[in-house]
Amino acid sequence: KQEVTQIPAALSVPEGENLVLNCSFTDSAIYNLQWFRQDPGKGLTSLLLIQSSQREQTSGRLNASLDKSSGRSTLYIAASQPGDSATYLCAPSGGSGNTPLVFGKGTRLSVIA
Amino acid sequence: DVKVTQSSRYLVKRTGEKVFLECVQDMDHENMFWYRQDPGLGLRLIYFSYDVKMKEKGDIPEGYSVSREKKERFSLILESASTNQTSMYLCASSLPRGNRNEQFFGPGTRLTVL
């Protein structure tokens, strides 16, 4: 059964810093991997989706990489801003059929002005 | 833009009540999902559906049932609500495998069972 671990569980950085959030998963036979953002008390917002054949995806100040063989993905946030403060979750989906996403517990990010 | 809506943002019910949580998506997605989210436990899959009138159990289906009579609507039913079902409930939808398969979430329903 797929297990997803996100490290660190919480992170506090000063505004302007570049940062990396880590995600590891136990079963490398994935179809794709999504990164989400969640603000307190709200639903999840999709940030980036990486197909299993891709190595990275970029959207604005966000860059997600995928190393399927080692079971790792990273989310890089450049020039962090207080508005980036949220919980970030990664979720791979299984390689066979329409297997649902499996979520990590997230990294809670605080960007201090 | 994909839109997933949930019938209530906040809901308070009594123990033993039958509770319906409704989810509607407007992008003709085949796949729909119900999760619950609890502090320290993360998101856990309750039920999902790949087509109308079709359902599959997730990791924690006990105490819940679902209904999908129309493609755009997926309902979660708590037959007899209990206090341990107090949680944040999140609905999501996606296209099937072979497409981009990106999953989109609704705003969530915070359910309190007293």
pLDDT digits (tens, 9 = 90+) for B43-56: 999 999 999 989 99
Interface test with A, best of B105, B109, B110 (most A CBs within 10 A): B105
Angstrom distances, CA of residue A60 to CA of A13, A48, A51, B100: 20, 11, 18, 20
Q: Using an 8 Å Cβ cutoff, are B24 and B73 in contact?
A: yes
Q: Using an 8 Å Cβ cutoff, are B33 and B76 in contact?
A: no
| B41, B97, B103: residue with CB nearest A97 | B97
Mean pLDDT calculated for residue range B25-33: 92
Q: Which residues of B make CB contacts under 8 Å with A? A: 4, 31, 33, 40-43, 45, 48, 50, 58, 88, 90, 92, 96-97, 100-108, 110
Q: What pLDDT was estimated at residue A71?
A: 95
Spatial distance between the Cα atoms of B86 and A8, rounded to a whole number of angstroms: 28
Q: What is the pLDDT along chain A (113 residues), one digit of tens a residue?
A: 899 999 999 999 999 999 999 999 999 988 899 999 999 989 999 999 998 889 999 999 999 999 999 999 999 999 999 999 999 999 998 766 567 889 999 999 999 99
Dihedral in degrees, nearest 10, Cα atoms A55, B37, B99, A60: -50
Pairwise CB contact (< 8 Å): A43 & B106: yes
Residues of B in contact with A98 (CB under 8 A): 31, 50, 96-97
Interface test with B, best of A101, A103, A105, A108 (most B CBs within 10 A): A101
| A41, A49, A97: residue with CB nearest B102 | A49
* pLDDT tens readout for residues B9-20: 999 999 999 999
| B42, B102, B110: residue with CB nearest A103 | B42
Q: What pLDDT was estimated at residue B1?
A: 67
Q: pLDDT category, B5, cuts 50, 70, 90?
A: very high
* pLDDT tens readout for residues B89-102: 999 999 876 667 78
